[in-house]
Homo-oligomer: A and B are copies of this chain.
Amino acid sequence: MKRIRPLNQEKREAILKAAIEEFYTKGFEGSSMDTISKLANVSKATVYNHFKNKEELFLSVATIIRERIEESFKYTYSNIIDIKTQLKQIAKKEMNFLNSKDNMKLIQIITIVMIQKNEIGLKLLEIFEDDCMIMTSQWFQDAKIDGKLDFESSHFVSKQFVGMLKSFAFLPQLYGSAMLSKEEENKVIEEAVYMILKLYKK
């Protein structure tokens, strides 16, 4: 059941889509509300009816991204499934997220703003508190408690693990390299899991 004429949802989505596109190609500063409104086929004033200002529009885009990320990094430790399998599943889930053109687009957008660290960049930092790392870190902690892995700091190890994935599937792509093929992806996962087990398996 629709709310009585909410701000026309189609237009809102058209604007967000246009904004993502524009922020992606031009960054926050480089983007213009004029262009966004034209891309979305609405008047500039309409954009301002939906979003208080450029910053809020951007933050809305950022929130969308954040939700996708959060979704992609949920994983909880199981003491039934064998750890090698679990590690692979975690890696696969993360790779799934990273190895998507759309997601990288979104990440690039927020990367730019977070690097610029204006007020708005700082707000982003608050929004983005690295959940991915936190959840993976929790998994390692649980695996340690369960006596399956042995190391000092779960935080350090999870950074090693995720870092290994990101070395191949994030950093290069951040700078424009091509996405990984399915085989490459598998190889990277395989090697990262192998490394962790070799280094820390009890």
Interface residues of A (CB under 8 A from B): 25-30, 108, 111-112, 114-118, 121, 125, 156, 159-160, 162-164, 166-168, 171, 174-176, 187, 191, 194-195, 198-199
For A27, list chain B residues within 8 Å (CB).
Answer: 27-29, 112, 115-116
Q: Is the interface of A mostly helix, strand, loop or mixed?
A: helix
Which of the residues B30, B171, B175 comes within 8 Å of A166, measured between beta carbons?
B171
Chain B's nearest CB lies how many Å from the CB of A36?
Answer: 15
Contact present for B175 and A25 (CB under 8 Å)? no
Identical subunits present: 4
- Distance A29 CA – B35 CA, assembled complex (angstroms): 15
16 contacts between A and B (CB under 8 A): A27-B28, A27-B29, A111-B115, A112-B112, A112-B115, A115-B175, A115-B176, A125-B175, A159-B167, A160-B164, A163-B163, A163-B166, A163-B168, A164-B167, A171-B171, A198-B199
A29 contacts which chain B residues (CB < 8 A)? 26-27, 29-30
Note all chain B residues with C-beta closer than 8 A to A166.
Answer: 163, 167, 171
Q: Which residues on B sit within 8 Å (CB–CB) of A114?
A: 175-176
Partner of A162, one of B118, B156, B167, B198: B167
